[in-house]
């Protein structure tokens, strides 16, 4: 498996993206063309690592997943020392989803015991999100980058 980091985008050469809006990640070993849009792997780019983990994570065996997650961790460390790193649009949407889920869950819990809804506060929202990410890892085998993506600080 070759993983390339070019221009801040980390791609994996064993996967490719077709032109479909959903289910666009294909394995090169099994899919030479997309049966929906007709795109072929020869004409299309390699898939981005973060999207493989988010959208195709369930189809990876434990060794593939460990290799990809391990590379992503090392790549983030290397990139942090050279320039500012930003989350992808997909990762930002996932962060919004988990933040809103945490806030909405707390509102539901407090609906009958507090007169007004709680104010948005990232201190407790972040704590709930960390717990959700931990549970997703322990019970569902999801990585933190899949559930609650972040760029670490040192």
Question: What confidence score (pLDDT) does residue 77 get?
Answer: 54
Alpha-helix runs per DSSP H in 14-88 = 49-55, 62-82
Q: Is the separation of the CB atoms in 25 and 15 below 8 Å? A: yes
Question: What confidence score (pLDDT) does residue 10 get?
Answer: 74
Strand runs labelled E in the chain:
3-6, 9-17, 25-27, 46-48
Give the residue with greater pLDDT, 38 vs 6: 38
Cα separations in angstroms, 45 against 7, 37, 91, 144: 14, 15, 20, 26
Average pLDDT taken over every residue of the chain = 80
- When pLDDT is averaged across residues 81-106 and rounded to a whole number, the result is 84
Dihedral sign (CA 81, 94, 32, 43): negative
Dihedral sign (CA 97, 87, 21, 59): negative
Per-residue pLDDT of 17-71, as tens digits, reads 999 998 899 988 888 999 999 999 999 998 887 788 777 666 666 656 666 666 6
Alpha carbon distance 116, 111 (integer Å)? 8
Q: Percentage of the chain surpassing pLDDT 90?
A: 34
Burial of 65 (0-12, 13-18, 19+ CB in 10 A): buried
Give the residue with greater pLDDT, 119 vs 4: 119
């Amino acid at each position: 498996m070759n993983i390339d980091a070019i221009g801040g985008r980390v791609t994996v050469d064993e996967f490719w993206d077709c032109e479909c809006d959903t289910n666009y990640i294909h394995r090169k070993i099994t899919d030479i063309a997309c049966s929906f849009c007709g795109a072929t792997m020869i004409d299309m780019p390699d898939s981005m690592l973060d999207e493989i983990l988010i959208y195709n994570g369930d189809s990876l065996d434990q060794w593939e997943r460990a290799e990809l997650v391990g590379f992503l961790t090392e790549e983030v460390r290397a990139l942090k020392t050279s320039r500012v790193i930003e989350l992808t649009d997909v990762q930002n949407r996932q962060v919004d989803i988990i933040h809103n889920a945490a806030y909405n869950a707390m509102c539901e819990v407090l609906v009958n015991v507090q007169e007004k809804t709680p104010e948005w506060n990232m201190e407790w929202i972040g704590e709930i999100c960390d717990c959700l990410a931990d549970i997703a890892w322990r019970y569902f085998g999801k990585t933190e980058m899949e559930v609650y993506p972040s760029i670490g600080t040192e």
